[in-house]
A = this chain, B = another copy of it.
Amino acid sequence: MGKQSITDVDGVFGHAIHAGIKESGLDLSYIYVPNAVASAAVFTQSKFSASSVTYTKKCAKRHTLKAMIINSGNANAATGKEGESHTKALAQLTSEYLQINPSEVGVASTGIIGKKLPMESIEKHIPNLFKSVKVKNGDKVAEAILTTDLTKKFVTKSMKIGKKTITVSGITKGSGMIAPNMATTLGFLVTNVSVNSSQLQDYLSKAIKCSYNMMSVDTDTSTNDMVVCFATGQYNIASNDKKQSDMFQNLLTEVCIDLAKLIAKDGEGATKLISVDVRQAASVKDARIMAKNVIDSPLVKTAIHGEDPNWGRIMMAIGKDPSVKLNPNKVSIYVGKSCLFKHGEPTSIQLGLVKKELANSEVDITIDCGLGTDSAKAWGCDLTKGYIDINTEYN
Contact = CB atoms under 8 A, between A and B. Distances in A.
Interface in A320-361: 320-322, 324, 326, 328, 341, 344-346
CB-CB nearest 10 A-B residue pairs:
A113-B312, A306-B392, A302-B391, A48-B319, A45-B322, A47-B319, A221-B320, A47-B326, A80-B345, A114-B312
Nearest to A326: B47
A341 B341 CA distance: 49
A393 B310 CA distance: 10
Given A297-B219, A324-B47, A316 B388 contact: no
Given A46-B320, A305-B392, 9 more contacts: A47-B320, A114-B346, A179-B320, A221-B319, A223-B315, A223-B316, A298-B298, A308-B393, A310-B395
15 contacts: A46-B322, A47-B321, A48-B315, A78-B328, A80-B345, A80-B346, A113-B310, A113-B312, A114-B311, A114-B315, A220-B320, A223-B319, A299-B391, A306-B392, A384-B388
A360 B324 CA distance: 41
Interface in A266-313: 296-299, 302-303, 305-306, 308, 310-313
A176 interface: yes
Interface of A: 45-49, 75, 77-80, 112-114, 176-177, 179, 181-182, 218-223, 296-299, 302-303, 305-306, 308, 310-313, 315-322, 324, 326, 328, 341, 344-346, 383-385, 387-388, 391-395
Contacts of A311: 114
